[in-house]
């Protein structure tokens, strides 16, 4: 019986000391505990290079609602019947809005797949059209070098008094 009491006492002592050390460890973390970290969110100032107040109406309040969105009449989208039963071409229990289940649920386009289309583009192109033929030879275009233009009058006479094109 003494042996059982001794073993139970030792087990209870280890349990109590383990929980005590666990509490001390949490207290020792202090400021490094992620739950206790205070995050400071700094508001960034965006400089657009101009004063936006110059382009807004007088007494403009961005928090004020200028338009009642409930007064706008929205058109309901009409269901269009195509006359084709698509369920015959889809897998059983197909849901277009379901998220893919596993890697096999993700569809991709294989570049080795051949796509057969019954669209004939030649009906919509000019007769004798060849996409590989050069219709415009860029080397035949004569480029004019930029020349300095001399005006036969004094430009400063036509500008406002004290005009400085480099001033901001």
Mean pLDDT of 40-48: 82
In a domain, 14, yes or no: yes
In a domain, 17, yes or no: yes
Q: Quick one: pLDDT band at residue 22, thresholds 50, 70, 90?
A: low
Percentage of the chain beyond pLDDT 70 is 85
In a domain, 160, yes or no: no
CA dist 79 and 137 (Å) reads 51
- Token pair 């996409």 in the structure block, residue: 131
Cβ atoms of 29 and 35 within 8 Å: the answer is no
In a domain, 122, yes or no: no
Encoded tokens for 65: 């609602």
In a domain, 27, yes or no: yes
More confident residue, 2 or 95: 95
pLDDT recorded at residue 107: 72
Encoded tokens for 165: 């094109």
CA dist 122 and 124 (Å) reads 5
**The pLDDT of residue 26 is above 70:** no
Mean pLDDT of 102-129: 79
**The pLDDT of residue 90 is above 80:** yes
pLDDT recorded at residue 70: 82
Q: How many domains does the chain have?
A: 1
Whether the predicted model's global pTM rises above the 0.75 cut: no
In a domain, 115, yes or no: no
Domain holding 37, by residue range, is 1-74
In a domain, 123, yes or no: no
Alpha carbons within 13 angstroms on the beta-carbon side of residue 41 total 1
More confident residue, 122 or 10: 122
**The pLDDT of residue 15 is above 60:** yes
Mean pLDDT of 129-154: 80
Q: What are phi and psi of 161, to 5 degrees?
A: -60, 130
In a domain, 34, yes or no: yes
CA dist 41 and 5 (Å) reads 57
């Amino acid at each position: 019986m003494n042996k059982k009491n001794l073993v139970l006492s030792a087990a209870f002592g280890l349990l109590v000391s383990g929980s005590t050390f666990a509490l001390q460890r949490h207290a020792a973390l202090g400021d490094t505990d992620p739950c206790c970290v205070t995050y400071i969110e700094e508001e960034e100032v965006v400089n657009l290079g101009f004063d936006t107040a110059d382009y807004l109406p007088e007494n403009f309040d961005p928090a004020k609602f200028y338009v009642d969105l409930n007064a706008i009449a929205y058109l309901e989208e009409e269901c269009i019947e195509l006359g084709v039963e698509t369920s015959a071409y889809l897998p059983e229990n197909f849901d277009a809005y379901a998220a893919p289940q596993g890697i096999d649920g993700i569809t991709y386009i294989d570049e080795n797949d051949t796509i057969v289309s019954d669209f004939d583009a030649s009906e919509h192109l000019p007769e004798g059209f060849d996409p590989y033929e050069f219709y415009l030879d860029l080397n035949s275009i004569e480029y004019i070098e930029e020349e300095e233009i001399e005006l036969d009058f004094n430009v400063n006479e036509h500008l406002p008094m004290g005009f400085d094109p480099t001033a901001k």
